Amino acid sequence: MLTAGMKGNRVNEGQKAVADGQDQDRVPADGRRSRREVLAGLIGAPVTAVGEGAAARKGSRTRKPAPGPTKPNIVIIQLDDMRTADWRVMRRTRKMLKGATWFPNYTIGFPYCAASRASLLTGAYAHNHGVVMPGNLECWAAWTDQAFDKVAIGSVLRREGYQTASIGKYLNGYQVAYPAPDGWSRWVAVEKGAHVAPVIRVDGEVVTTDRKAYGLRVFGDYASEFIASTPVEDPLLLLFSPVEPHLPDDPERKYRGRYDTVPLERPASFNEADVSDKPAYIASTPQLTVPQIAALERSNRARMEMMLSVDEIVSGLLRDLKRAGRWDNTCVFVVSDNGYMLGEHRLTGKHAPYTPSAVVPMLAWGPGFTAGTDARLVSNVDIAPTCAELAGTEMPRADGFSLLGTRWRQYVPMYRYPDPDLGGGGRGVRSRDLLYFELETQQREYYDLRIDPFELQNLLNPGQVGEVYPSGLPGSAYLRSLTAMFGSCVGKRCSQVAP
C-alpha cells in the first residue's frame, strides 16, 4: 500500500485548473432560443416583454447596488449531483460571472439529496432539521411535519418584500398532487427527476409537458418569465434547481456525442488498489472490472453533455437579468446539492464522507464578493444566512453563518444515514486539513488531507483503538469528542465560528 507521503497534492492543482478555465473541451457556439413561442406552446403562461438592462459589470471590483430596489436580487442555482470536474463544462456561465469568488472548500456535511437541500433552505445542519431518511416520502413528511417552509429562505425573504420563485427540484418526496409550500410567490416543481417530459406543478395547477420537451428548458422558460414579469422595483429571489446531471444519463439530442473522446478522470483514488484500511463495506467491494469502467466512462460523457444544457440555460438566465435591468444589483450563487463518485475508492454515487462526494466548489458573484479564491471552509448551511444578510434580516434557525465579512469555521460536521447496504450510519468532522469519520460498526477513519488529499491511507486502521496524533493535527480522541458535541450543537457553536 502506498504511504501518505507518496500521494502528492494534485487535487488543489485540478481545482485551480477548473477555476481558471484551463480545459480544452469543446462547447457549442452560443445561440439563445426564443422563449416566447415555447412559453405560449408548452406552458401557456403570459410573457412580459423584457426591458433592456444595465451593462455588464466591469473589472473585478466589489459592486455597489444599482438604482432600483434597495435590497439586492438573489439567484441560487442548485445543481443535482454535480462533480468538481463538471465545472469545466460551465464555460459560458463562468465567463458571465467573471469576477466571482471561487470557494474551493465548499463542503456538504450530509452529501445526500434531501438532507443537503434541507440544509441549504434552512441554514441548519442535518442533526437539527432531521430530513435525512432515504425514502423520499419520509423526507417530505419530516419537512412538512416540522413546518420548515415557514422558516426556510423563501418565507424569510418573502416577509422582507421579495418576490420569490422556486423552479425545478425542491425537496425529495414532493409530489405534484401537493400544494405549493409557503414562501413562494411563484412555484414550479417537478415530482420526478426525469429529464424528458416531466410532470410539473405550476402554482396551483398540474401541467403535463410535451412528450419531447426537455425539462431543463421548460424550467428555464418559467425562470425567464419570472425575471421578466417581476416589477423591477421589487427585489427577487430565484431558486433555480435543475435535475441535471442526475441519473438517468439522458443528454439533449443536440449535445449528444460532444464528449465522445473525453476520458474519465482517474485520480489516485480511482478503483483504489489497496482498500484493506477502509471500512468493511469498501474493503469487501471488488475492484471495478473493465466493463464497469467503460460504463463509468459513458456515464461521465453523458453527464458532461447534460451540463452543456445547464450552461446554456443558466447563462441565458443571467442575460435575462441584464435585460431586466437587475444585473448590477444581483447576487448569484452556483452550487451543487452534493458531489458524485465515479469509481473513487471503488464506489459510485454519493452518501460517503470522501472528497468527491462531499466537496464541490461554489461560485458566488455580486455585491459583497470580489474576484479571487476564498479558501475558508464553508458549507451549504451558509447560503441561507448569506442571503438573509443581503436582504437585511436573519435566518431564525440557522447553524451556518453569512459569507459576507471574514467569519470562518474550523470544522464541518459530517453524517451518513444508517443504510446497511452502504456500510451503515456514521458521523464525523471535516476541516481543510483532515477528515475524521466513525461508523456505527465502530470502525473509524482518519485522513491527513495535507499529504493525502485522495484519502488513500487511513491512519486508524480497522480495529485500532489507540490515540493517533498526526504532526500538526489534533488527536483522534479529541476529534471523537468533537464529533459527539456536534450531535447536539446549535447555532454558532455548531459552526465553530470565529470573527
Mean pLDDT of the 71-77 span: 97
Residues 180, 185: Cα–Cα separation, whole Å: 9
Domain membership of residue 435 (yes or no) is no
pLDDT for 156: 98
pLDDT band per the 50, 70, 90 thresholds, residue 38:
very low
Number of other CB atoms surrounding residue 273 within 10 Å: 11
Dihedrals phi, psi of 414, to nearest 5 degrees: -115, 145
pLDDT for 78: 98
Q: How many separate helices (H) and strands (E) can be counted in the chain? A: 14, 18
CA angle 178, 418, 491 (to 5 degrees): 70
Domain membership of residue 423 (yes or no) is no
Mean pLDDT of the 365-379 span: 97
Which cell goes with 425? Answer: 450510519
Report the mean per-residue pLDDT for the chain.
86
Domain membership of residue 184 (yes or no) is yes
5-9, 75-79, 216-220, 380-384: lowest mean pLDDT where?
Answer: 5-9
Q: How many domains does the chain have?
A: 1
Residue 85 φ/ψ region, left for φ over 0, alpha for ψ in the -120 to 50 degree band, beta for the rest = alpha
pLDDT band per the 50, 70, 90 thresholds, residue 23:
very low
Which cell goes with 89? Answer: 463544462
Per-residue pLDDT at 149 exceeds 80? yes
The answer to whether the CB of 71 falls within 8 A of the CB of 392 is yes
pLDDT for 18: 52
Per-residue pLDDT at 2 exceeds 70? no
Mean pLDDT of the 28-44 span: 33
pLDDT for 424: 78
pLDDT for 492: 78
82 against 133, higher pLDDT: 82
* Pairing assessment for the beta strands 412-416 and 426-430 based on DSSP bridges: antiparallel
Long-range contacts of 481-490 (CB under 8 A, 24+ apart): 482/411, 482/429, 483/413, 483/427, 483/428, 483/429, 483/436, 483/438, 486/125, 486/127, 486/411, 486/413, 486/427, 486/429, 487/127, 487/427, 488/127, 489/125, 489/127, 489/399, 489/413, 490/128, 490/399
pLDDT for 9: 38
- The residues, ordered by sequence, that sit 6+ positions from 181 with a Cβ below 8 Å of its Cβ are 144, 149, 152, 154, 166, 170, 187
pLDDT band per the 50, 70, 90 thresholds, residue 442:
confident
Q: What is the DSSP letter of 422?
A: G
- The residues, ordered by sequence, that sit 6+ positions from 163 with a Cβ below 8 Å of its Cβ are 185, 186, 226, 230, 231, 234, 235, 236, 237
Measured distance between the N- and C-terminal CA atoms of the chain, rounded to whole angstroms = 42
Residues 271, 294: Cα–Cα separation, whole Å: 13
pLDDT for 372: 97
Could you identify the residue written with the cell 425537496? 171
Structure confidence by residue, pLDDT tens digits, 469-478 = 999 999 999 9
pLDDT band per the 50, 70, 90 thresholds, residue 322:
very high
Structure confidence by residue, pLDDT tens digits, 195-229 = 999 999 999 899 988 888 999 999 999 999 999 99
Per-residue pLDDT at 394 exceeds 60? yes
Domain membership of residue 27 (yes or no) is no
pLDDT for 191: 79
Domain membership of residue 447 (yes or no) is no
Domain membership of residue 461 (yes or no) is no
- The residues, ordered by sequence, that sit 6+ positions from 145 with a Cβ below 8 Å of its Cβ are none
Range of the domain at 321: 35-52+70-403
Domain membership of residue 430 (yes or no) is no
Q: Which helix (H) or strand (E) holds 414?
A: strand 412-416
pLDDT band per the 50, 70, 90 thresholds, residue 135:
confident
Q: Which helix (H) or strand (E) holds 208?
A: strand 205-208
Domain membership of residue 495 (yes or no) is no
- Which value, in Å, is the radius of gyration of the alpha carbons in the chain? 22
Per-residue pLDDT at 236 exceeds 80? yes
| C-alpha distance from residue 204 to each of 26, 91, 152 (Å) | 41, 36, 20
CATH code of the domain in which 86 resides: 3.40.720.10
What is residue 320's three-state secondary structure? helix
Per-residue pLDDT at 144 exceeds 90? yes
pLDDT band per the 50, 70, 90 thresholds, residue 260:
very high
24-28, 47-51, 93-97, 449-453: lowest mean pLDDT where?
Answer: 47-51
pLDDT band per the 50, 70, 90 thresholds, residue 483:
very high
